[in-house]
């Protein structure tokens, strides 16, 4: 068996290599590198794929989240609730506005936000909740939407890892007040560098986010307010247009890979496979299992030529970056436990049944 890569981007892109090259060359030869037709076309195509009115391409999801919160008027004195188990970007975007990040633990049976804890942490300073559809597994949106409505809070979906995931027939990113996507190369829809997109329900908010991401302007020198430079490059947009056409197929392949794992790992009593919330169709950005002896299993897999990963080794509360919150080890026991016991298995949409069976057999042999 050849080495099994965690994510084989070169193999994934092989069937569209020529189309990608042509798209890049068209931009290079066209001489227009910021904004323009490619960005507009990508935004239109992604909006239509998602089923929303409007999408704004941005430089990355981090700046997209930041621009969204700023455009909602979030700042000093406000609180924004999110999960302690996410990429640091989610929390950074909150802190950068001057608002206080309020972490919640993960739920007992999954890796997403514990919504009971969210309710407990809401107070008069709370302005926004950011549910993160982590690993491509949708959050319980009915419940989080009800919480937001009851307390008159805004909801920003962090869909960085969940392009195409479905909750009760609706794609994630279509339910909150706004939603943010990342096109970091390893994401389900990945670019060839950094990139992201934002959508917002309210056209006025969407307009502000678009302006905020482009120095507070709509036309060249008419700066209505100070913003930032967070634009999607024309070359990324052109390449993403090619990849967007593959996204549904890639997502089905990831689901197939997950189904093969579910079947192949059944019966290993010391290993927990991902739990799927009823009524949802995850897109398996990651396939994460919980095991008692994570590091030893990862080492065993590596020796057998199988890559694996840990997403993430630390919950945000224990990182030096959040020492100011005084919420070190012990504050978020479920997330901390998960970080010590989780292992992400290879999820490349290019993986074959035979390869997944090999990974499952290797894990079974480890536990024999
Ligand atoms: C959940 C989550 N939110 C936000 C981000 C930030 O995305 P970007 O790298 O596009 O800024 C990431 C990227 O890793 C992520 O996984």
Residue 254 · residue 47 · CB < 8 Å: no
Domain CATH number, residue 144: 3.40.640.10
Report d(CA 200, CA 154) in Å as an integer: 11
Same-domain status, 323 and 221:
no
Domain end, chosen from 242, 274, 296, is at 242
For residue 264, the model assigns a pLDDT of 98
Q: Which helix (H) or strand (E) holds 160?
A: none
Report d(CA 108, CA 105) in Å as an integer: 9
Same-domain status, 237 and 251:
no
Same-domain status, 232 and 250:
no
| Residue 339's pLDDT band (cuts 50, 70, 90) | very high
pLDDT digits (tens, 9 = 90+) for 217-265: 999 999 999 999 999 999 999 999 999 999 999 999 999 999 999 999 9
Task: Determine, yes or no, domain membership for 354.
Answer: yes
pLDDT digits (tens, 9 = 90+) for 148-185: 999 999 999 999 999 999 999 999 999 999 999 999 99
Domain end, chosen from 189, 220, 242, is at 242
Total domains present in the chain: 2
Report d(CA 193, CA 320) in Å as an integer: 27
For residue 39, the model assigns a pLDDT of 98
* Helix locations, 32-140, DSSP H: 37-50, 61-71, 88-96, 115-121
Question: Is the C-beta atom of 184 inside 6 A of ligand 1?
Answer: yes
- How far does the chain reach from its first CA to its final CA, in angstroms? 21
Beta strands in the chain (DSSP E): 56-58, 79-83, 100-104, 126-130, 154-158, 166-167, 170-171, 178-182, 196-200, 280-281, 287-290, 342-345
Mean pLDDT, rounded, of the chain: 97
| pTM for the predicted model, two decimal places | 0.98
- Measured in angstroms, how far is the CA atom of residue 63 from the centroid of ligand 1? 10
Report d(CA 275, CA 137) in Å as an integer: 9
Task: Determine, yes or no, domain membership for 3.
Answer: no
Same-domain status, 209 and 351:
no
Same-domain status, 115 and 65:
yes
The whole-number average pLDDT for the span 64-73 is 98
Same-domain status, 206 and 106:
yes
Q: Each residue of 189-228: b (16+ CB within 10 Å) or e? A: bbbbebbbbbbbbeeebbebbbbbbbbeeeeeeeeeeebb
| Residue 2's pLDDT band (cuts 50, 70, 90) | confident
Question: Is the C-beta atom of 137 inside 6 A of ligand 1?
Answer: no
Helix (H, G, I), strand (E, B) or coil at 155: strand
Question: Is the C-beta atom of 212 inside 6 A of ligand 1?
Answer: no
For residue 109, the model assigns a pLDDT of 86
For residue 309, the model assigns a pLDDT of 98
For residue 92, the model assigns a pLDDT of 98
Question: Is the C-beta atom of 189 inside 6 A of ligand 1?
Answer: no
Residue 362 · residue 8 · CB < 8 Å: no
Q: 19 lies in which domain range?
A: 12-242
pLDDT digits (tens, 9 = 90+) for 256-300: 999 999 999 999 999 999 999 999 999 999 999 999 999 999 999
Res 19 pLDDT > 80: yes
Residue 344 · residue 286 · CB < 8 Å: yes
Res 352 pLDDT > 80: yes
Task: Determine, yes or no, domain membership for 237.
Answer: yes
Residue 182's DSSP bridge partners are: 196
**% of the chain beyond a pLDDT of 90:** 98
Domain end, chosen from 242, 277, 298, is at 242
- Measured in angstroms, how far is the CA atom of residue 195 from the centroid of ligand 1? 10
Residue 189 · residue 243 · CB < 8 Å: yes
Task: Determine, yes or no, domain membership for 4.
Answer: no
Specify the DSSP class assigned to residue 133.
-
Task: Determine, yes or no, domain membership for 305.
Answer: yes
Residue among 57, 59, 62, 64 whose CB has most ligand 1 atoms within 8 A, to mutate? 62
For residue 360, the model assigns a pLDDT of 98
For residue 1, the model assigns a pLDDT of 75
The DSSP annotation for 291-345 comes to -TTHHHHHHHHHHTTB--B-S-SS-GGGSGGGGGG---TTSSHHHHHHHHHEEEE
Same-domain status, 105 and 205:
yes
């Amino acid at each position: 068996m050849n080495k099994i890569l965690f994510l084989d981007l070169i193999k994934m892109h092989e069937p569209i290599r020529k189309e990608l090259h042509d798209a890049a060359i068209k931009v290079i030869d066209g001489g227009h590198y910021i904004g323009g037709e490619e960005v507009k076309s990508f935004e239109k195509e992604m909006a239509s794929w998602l089923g929303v009115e409007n999408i704004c391409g941005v430089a990355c999801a981090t700046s997209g989240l930041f621009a969204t919160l700023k455009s909602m008027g979030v700042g000093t004195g406000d609180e924004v609730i999110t999960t302690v188990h996410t990429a640091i970007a989610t929390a950074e975007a909150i802190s950068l506005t001057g608002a206080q990040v309020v972490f919640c633990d993960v739920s007992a049976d999954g890796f997403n936000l514990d919504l009971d804890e969210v309710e407990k942490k809401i107070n008069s300073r709370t302005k926004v909740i950011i549910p993160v559809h982590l690993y491509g597994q949708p959050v319980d949106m009915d419940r989080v939407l009800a919480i937001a409505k009851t307390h008159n809070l805004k909801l920003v979906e962090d869909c960085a890892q969940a392009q195409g995931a479905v909750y009760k027939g609706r794609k994630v990113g279509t339910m909150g007040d706004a939603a943010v996507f990342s096109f970091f190369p390893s994401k389900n829809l990945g670019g060839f560098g950094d990139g992201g997109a934002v959508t917002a329900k309210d056209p006025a908010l969407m307009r502000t986010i678009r302006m905020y991401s482009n120095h507070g302007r709509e036309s060249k020198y008419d700066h209505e307010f100070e913003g930032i430079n967070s634009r999607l490059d024309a070359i990324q947009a052109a390449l993403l247009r090619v990849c967007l056409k593959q996204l549904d197929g890639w997502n089905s392949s990831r689901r197939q890979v997950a189904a093969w794992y579910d079947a192949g790992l059944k019966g290993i009593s010391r290993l927990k496979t991902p739990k799927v919330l009823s009524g949802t169709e995850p897109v398996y950005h990651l396939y994460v299992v919980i095991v008692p002896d994570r590091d030893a299993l990862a080492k065993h897999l590596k020796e057998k030529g199988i890559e694996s990963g840990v997403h993430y080794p630390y919950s945000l509360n224990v990182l030096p970056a959040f020492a100011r919150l005084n919420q070190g080890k012990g504050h978020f026991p479920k997330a901390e436990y998960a970080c010590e016991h989780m292992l992400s298995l290879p999820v490349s949409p290019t993986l074959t049944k035979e390869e997944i069976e090999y990974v499952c057999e290797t894990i079974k042999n480890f536990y024999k």
